[in-house]
Chain A
Amino acid sequence: MYPRPIPPTARTERRLYLVLVIAILVVWLAPLFAIILTSFRSSADVANGNLWGWPTQFNLIDNYTGVFSRTPMAQYFLNSLLITVPSVIGVLVLSTLSGFVLAKYRFRGNMALFAVFVGGNFMPAQIMMIPVRDLMVRLGLYDTTFALIIFHVAFQTGFATLFMRNFVAALPDELFEAARAEGASPAQILRHVVFPLVRPAFAALAILTFTFIWNDYFWAVVLTISDTVKPVTAGLANLRGQYVSEWNIISAATMIVAVPPVVMFFLMQRHFIAGLTMGAVKG
């Protein structure tokens, strides 16, 4: 029961299929197009309720410069970068270390420890809301960038470790034995053998965690209040209150917020190399 292409002779089915695909695409992408178009509109258009139609007047440059000149979005954007970049680096470093150890070292409680990492992923964020906020208040980190960095690193490392552990486990054992036999220390093995070979996993994880943390709204709201700390997601929500009628500005801000994960994807894409371990073992 694998998907078979519809034969070219079945005209009606083919047409029906095409119509269905287009219909789903339209429904799926309509909000995105609405936001893109709205980010081009003038305030007059928005005031007249023209939210879905073609803009009567293009205000592209005004809207996008307005995001930075009339709102604190630049600050939010910077805050987001200051939270996301260190968090992603922290997650990658920790998960590579823990993944390597869990994958290639045999010790008592290896599986139990691994289960803790995996199990942490199943905990719903909501039940931790009050304890985590309370913890950050007591640590004196509430409403600081560090609160979000620490939380994101802790919370993302569980999944990232699962990912890295499985990736490293798939690397041939002989490579590690060969390195040990040649006198490489664990740190040298990590640096010269593991890091170069987990690059594709690294890139994938970087994109995933970057997008996760960048798009996080829940913890941004829970752990921050001031504009100097707030990331873009929480900042956008603020704009809605302040500029309630200016949907064109909010849409432009939304577009700007959506850019970094996309840029990240293209930056990391060249690291997705299939068959990196080719030639390591056997033919």
Chain B
Amino acid sequence: MSSLELRQIEKRYGGYRALRGINLRVEPGEFIVMVGPSGCGKSTLLKSIAGLVQVDSGEMLINGRDVTKAEPGDRGIAMVFQSYALYPHMTVAENMGFGLRMAKRPRTEIDAAVGRAAQILRLTDQLDKLPKQLSGGQRQRVAIGRAITRSPEVFLFDEPLSNLDAALRTQMRVELSTLHAALGATMVYVTHDQVEAMTMASRIVVLNAGSVEQVGAPRDLYSNPVNRFVAGFLGAPRMNFFEAKIVEARLGQVSVETAGLGRFAMPVVANTPLAIGDTATIGIRPEALKLVGNRDGAHFSGAAQLVEYLGRETIVYADAAPLRCIGSDTGTGNVTIHLPGIAQLETGASLQIAFDPANAYLFGGAEQRTLSAPKTI
């Protein structure tokens, strides 16, 4: 169990700043998941920690030891790659013992370490096979086994499950969480899959354009994102965003007005920079929207454009003009509604939709910070 500390890590590729002053402290035994959109620098950051990428400035400490300039092999890390990166000409046992063999450890020690890792990962019967004789899930377990045998201070995972099919991914997710609990090791895990982030992480690090946006426990991040980016990134289907105008501002409360939503009051943090006439963004999670029976209880109405039945949940995309979603992936302006169970809805059905303003978010200012009052979890 070891700590990992990053101080002001900077990395440039030519004129492009891939990492912009990253600060992070990972406590011993933590499972840190780094998420972010493609090109946000999460893989670069992981490779920097591994020493495969040399950072331009900043400091990196593993267990208090400065490893900023250390060779990858001397850092006490082990990395698991998205593509497994198994040596195709070596058996499973040789693959798992590679690091120890390179370090010229005695044969008995290597065999013992490989045997132990194989037992943990249920690979004991596969030790003499070549990687090409294994299934995808087994290959990934071998790659993890290769990391375990070196008993590193920090495990690094670079999207290890993204090449597996959905069912196997769910299974491996559970196995990795179990492994983390069993080894109690410090792990840093990069993924773009937010289910993995939400389920496995002790803490999630949200990265965007080379900077850390927010660090926190999954539930905190989901309920209290610091800004619109984090709010939009975590949660699937994505949060609905609407453009709004501030029509009334008092201490701890503002009233907002949106075309199609009308006017309503929201609790906000004490020191908002908002003034009457400013534009801001309202955010409502799809599951915070409810269908109501009659027009009186509704905040807005719309027509179902597309209904996705997923069995235990139903996702409805509704055209609620003049209310239009901004920044949606599809660009249609449709509002996304997430309903539990199977909702009997036909395409084109007219919907009456309501929500509790206390569940809505307000983002404003230049950085689109969260201004609505924190939600209690």
Contacts and interface: CB of A to CB of B under 8 A. Distances in A.
A29 interface: no
B139 A180 contact: no
Interface residues of B, number: 34
Contacts of B83: 172, 174, 280-282
Contacts, number: 94
A181 B136 contact: no
Nearest to A276: B88
A233 to B, nearest CB: 38
Interface string B128-141: 00111110100100
Interface in B116-166: 130-134, 136, 139, 146, 150, 163
Given A177-B52, A188-B102, A278-B132, A183 B73 contact: yes
Contact of B72 (A175, A180, A193, A279): A180
Interface in A171-209: 172, 174-175, 177-185, 188, 192-193, 196-197
A180 B79 CA distance: 10
Nearest to A281: B83
Interface string A212-229: 000000000000000000
A8 interface: no
Contacts of B74: 183
Given A193-B87, A197-B88, A282 B72 contact: no
- Which of A181, A196, A276 counts the most chain B CB atoms within 10 A? A181
A184 B52 contact: no
A51 B132 CA distance: 57
A93 to B, nearest CB: 20
A175 B98 CA distance: 12
A23 B132 CA distance: 47
B131 A279 contact: yes
Interface in B33-92: 47, 50-52, 71-74, 77-79, 81-89
A277 interface: yes
Interface size class of A (residues with CB under 8 A): 20 to 34
Contact of A180 (B52, B86, B134, B163): B52
B11 to A, nearest CB: 15
Contacts of A5: none
B99 interface: yes
A266 B292 CA distance: 80
Contact of A280 (B73, B86, B133, B150): B86
Given A197-B89, A280-B131, A182 B98 contact: yes
B81 A279 contact: no
A73 to B, nearest CB: 42
Nearest to A174: B85
B103 interface: yes
Contacts of B136: 283
A183 B89 contact: no
Contact of A278 (B50, B73, B78, B88): B88
A183 B79 contact: no
Interface in B280-318: none
A185 B79 CA distance: 17
Contacts of A179: 87, 98, 102
Nearest to B94: A192
A218 B130 CA distance: 48
A181 B49 CA distance: 11
A66 B371 CA distance: 102
B81 A178 contact: yes
- Which of B51, B74, B77, B83 counts the most chain A CB atoms within 10 A? B83
Contacts of A188: 102
Nearest to B86: A280
A185 B102 CA distance: 8
Nearest to A195: B89
A96 to B, nearest CB: 16
Contact of A177 (B81, B87, B139, B150): B81
Contacts of A282: 83-84, 163
Given A175-B87, A181-B79, A183-B99, 7 more contacts: A174-B82, A174-B85, A177-B81, A181-B72, A184-B99, A279-B130, A282-B84
17 contacts: A174-B83, A177-B81, A178-B87, A180-B52, A181-B52, A181-B79, A182-B78, A182-B98, A182-B102, A183-B103, A185-B102, A192-B87, A192-B102, A280-B83, A280-B88, A281-B83, A283-B163
Q: Which 8 A-B pairs have the closest CB atoms?
A: A183-B73, A279-B132, A279-B131, A182-B99, A174-B85, A281-B83, A178-B85, A280-B88
